[in-house]
Structure 1
Amino acid sequence: MEEDATLTAEGQTSELDRIAGAERQVADVVQQGDTPATTEIALGIWDRVLSFMESLTRPWVAYQVGIALALLLLAFVLSAVLKPRFYDWLKTREGWSKLRYRYGVMVHRRMPLILFTVLIWAVVWVLKSVTWPSRSYLLAMLASLALSWLVVVIVLRVVVNPTLRAFLRYGLWIWVTLVITGLRDDAVSLMDSMAINFGEARISLWMIAQAVVLLGLTFAITRLLSRQADARLKRSQDISPSMRVLFGKLLQVLLYTTAFFVGLRIIGFDLKGLAFLTGFIGVGLGFGLQKVVSNLVSGLIIVMDKSIKPGDVISLGETFGWINSLGARYVSVVTRDGKEFLIPNEDLITNQVVNWSHSDKYVRLDIFFGTAYGDDPHLVRKIAVEAAQSVGRVLNFPKTPVCHITGFGDSSVDYILRFWIEDPTGGLTNIRGNVYLALWDAFKAHGISLPFPQREVRMLDGEDGA
Structure 2
Amino acid sequence: MNNYFDSMFARKEFLARLIVHSLQTTSGWLELACAVMIMLSTYWLSLKILSVVSRHTQQQKNIRFPLLHHLFSRLLWPILLFISTIIAIVVWRDSTGESVLWLQITVFAARWLLMIRIIMAILHNAIPNNLFNDYYERSLSTFLWVCFVLWLTSLDTFIIRLLKSLALPVGSTSLSLYTVITGSIIVGIAIIIAMWLSRITEQRILKAEKLDVNLRYVLVKIIKTLLVVIAVLIALPMVGINLTILSVFGGALGVGLGLGLQKIASNYVSGFIILADHSVRPGDRLNINNFTGYVTKITARFVVLRSSDGSEALIPNDTFVSNTVINDSYSSKIMSTNLTMQVAYNTNLPQALEILKEAAAKQVRVCDDPKPNSFVTSFSDSGITLYVNYWIHDPENGFMSINSAILMEIWNRFKEVGIEFSFPKQEIRILNDAGDPIIYDTMPKPVNNVETKPTYPEPLPTELNVSSSYRSGQQTHHDQQ
* Aligned twin of 1:295: 267
Structure whose CA Rg is larger: 2
Deviation for aligned residue 1:175:
7.4
1:396-411 maps to which residues of 2 (within 5 A)?
Answer: 396=368, 398-411=369-382
Which runs of no fewer than 5 residues in structure 2 stay unpaired?
1-10, 433-458, 464-481
* Aligned twin of 2:93: 128
Q: Does structure 1 conserve the Cα–Cα contact (< 8 Å) formed by 2:334 and 2:393?
A: yes
CA distance in structure 1 between the partners assigned to 2:104 and 2:137 by the alignment = 28
* Aligned twin of 2:414: 443
* Aligned twin of 2:471: none
Q: Secondary structure of the equivalent of 1:373?
A: coil
Q: Secondary structure of the equivalent of 2:419?
A: coil
Amino acid at match of 2:63: W
Q: Does structure 2 conserve the Cα–Cα contact (< 8 Å) formed by 1:168 and 1:213?
A: no
* Aligned twin of 1:149: 113
Q: Does structure 2 conserve the Cα–Cα contact (< 8 Å) formed by 1:330 and 1:345?
A: yes
CA distance in structure 2 between the partners assigned to 1:348 and 1:459 by the alignment = 67
Identify the match of residue 313 of structure 1 among 267, 282, 285. Answer: 285
Amino acid at match of 2:58: T
Decide whether aligned partners of structure 1 residues 412 and 155 sit closer, same or farther in structure 2, where only a CA change above 3 A counts: same
Amino acid at match of 1:449: E
1:66 aligns with 2:63: no
Q: Does structure 1 conserve the Cα–Cα contact (< 8 Å) formed by 2:35 and 2:85?
A: no
Tell me whether 294-303 or 159-168 shows the greater mean CA deviation: 159-168
Q: How many residues align?
A: 417
Deviation for aligned residue 1:364:
0.9
Tell me whether 375-384 or 178-187 shows the greater mean CA deviation: 178-187
Amino acid at match of 2:250: T
CA distance in structure 2 between the partners assigned to 1:155 and 1:64 by the alignment = 34
Q: Deviations over 1:259-304 (max 9, x none)?
A: 1122112212111112222343234334443442232233222212
CA distance in structure 2 between the partners assigned to 1:47 and 1:156 by the alignment = 30
Identify the match of residue 95 of structure 1 among 23, 39, 62. Answer: 62
Q: Does structure 2 conserve the Cα–Cα contact (< 8 Å) formed by 1:332 and 1:340?
A: yes
Deviation for aligned residue 1:308:
1.2
Q: Secondary structure of the equivalent of 2:336?
A: strand
Q: Does structure 1 conserve the Cα–Cα contact (< 8 Å) formed by 2:35 and 2:106?
A: no
CA distance in structure 2 between the partners assigned to 1:190 and 1:71 by the alignment = 40
Decide whether aligned partners of structure 1 residues 207 and 49 sit closer, same or farther in structure 2, where only a CA change above 3 A counts: farther
CA distance in structure 2 between the partners assigned to 1:267 and 1:77 by the alignment = 38
Q: CA RMSD in A?
A: 3.9
Which runs of no fewer than 5 residues in structure 1 stay unpaired?
1-44
* Aligned twin of 2:205: 233
1:419 aligns with 2:386: no
Q: Does structure 1 conserve the Cα–Cα contact (< 8 Å) formed by 2:32 and 2:103?
A: no
Amino acid at match of 1:394: V
Q: Taking every aligned residue pair, what percent have the same amino acid on both sides?
A: 25
Q: Secondary structure of the equivalent of 2:174?
A: strand
Q: Deviations over 1:84-116 (max 9, x none)?
A: 968974883532243255336636xx85x5665
Amino acid at match of 1:245: Y
Tell me whether 166-175 or 401-410 shows the greater mean CA deviation: 166-175
* Aligned twin of 2:122: 158
1:238-317 maps to which residues of 2 (within 5 A)?
Answer: 238-317=210-289
CA distance in structure 2 between the partners assigned to 1:198 and 1:51 by the alignment = 44
Q: Does structure 2 conserve the Cα–Cα contact (< 8 Å) formed by 1:159 and 1:220?
A: yes
Deviation for aligned residue 1:318:
4.8
TM-score (norm 1): 0.75
Amino acid at match of 1:130: S
Q: Deviations over 1:439-461 (max 9, x none)?
A: 21222222222112222223455
Q: Does structure 2 conserve the Cα–Cα contact (< 8 Å) formed by 1:64 and 1:138?
A: no
Q: Secondary structure of the equivalent of 1:202?
A: strand
More helix by share: 1
Amino acid at match of 1:96: I
CA distance in structure 1 between the partners assigned to 2:287 and 2:171 by the alignment = 56
Q: Does structure 2 conserve the Cα–Cα contact (< 8 Å) formed by 1:90 and 1:104?
A: no
Decide whether aligned partners of structure 1 residues 318 and 433 sit closer, same or farther in structure 2, where only a CA change above 3 A counts: farther
TM-score (norm 2): 0.73
Decide whether aligned partners of structure 1 residues 244 and 216 sit closer, same or farther in structure 2, where only a CA change above 3 A counts: same
CA distance in structure 2 between the partners assigned to 1:320 and 1:394 by the alignment = 21
Q: Does structure 1 conserve the Cα–Cα contact (< 8 Å) formed by 2:376 and 2:386?
A: yes
CA distance in structure 1 between the partners assigned to 2:274 and 2:218 by the alignment = 9
CA distance in structure 2 between the partners assigned to 1:422 and 1:153 by the alignment = 49
Q: Deviations over 1:131-159 (max 9, x none)?
A: 2152x255235314413431442365133
Q: Does structure 2 conserve the Cα–Cα contact (< 8 Å) formed by 1:68 and 1:120?
A: no
Decide whether aligned partners of structure 1 residues 361 and 173 sit closer, same or farther in structure 2, where only a CA change above 3 A counts: same
CA distance in structure 2 between the partners assigned to 1:308 and 1:354 by the alignment = 10
Deviation for aligned residue 1:216:
2.5
Deviation for aligned residue 1:422:
1.0
CA distance in structure 1 between the partners assigned to 2:56 and 2:461 by the alignment = 95
Deviation for aligned residue 1:425:
1.0
Tell me whether 67-76 or 252-261 shows the greater mean CA deviation: 67-76
Q: Deviations over 1:149-177 (max 9, x none)?
A: 31442365133323897798678777787
CA distance in structure 2 between the partners assigned to 1:342 and 1:63 by the alignment = 64
CA distance in structure 2 between the partners assigned to 1:352 and 1:166 by the alignment = 48
CA distance in structure 2 between the partners assigned to 1:464 and 1:131 by the alignment = 139
* Aligned twin of 2:456: none
* Aligned twin of 2:403: 432
CA distance in structure 2 between the partners assigned to 1:171 and 1:264 by the alignment = 23
Decide whether aligned partners of structure 1 residues 326 and 124 sit closer, same or farther in structure 2, where only a CA change above 3 A counts: same
Tell me whether 261-270 or 352-361 shows the greater mean CA deviation: 352-361
Decide whether aligned partners of structure 1 residues 331 and 104 sit closer, same or farther in structure 2, where only a CA change above 3 A counts: farther
CA distance in structure 2 between the partners assigned to 1:46 and 1:104 by the alignment = 31
Identify the match of residue 361 of structure 1 among 295, 319, 333. Answer: 333
Deviation for aligned residue 1:401:
0.7
Q: Does structure 2 conserve the Cα–Cα contact (< 8 Å) formed by 1:364 and 1:420?
A: yes
Deviation for aligned residue 1:388:
0.8
Q: Deviations over 1:57-109 (max 9, x none)?
A: 663784367336734873698499869968974883532243255336636xx
CA distance in structure 2 between the partners assigned to 1:78 and 1:46 by the alignment = 29
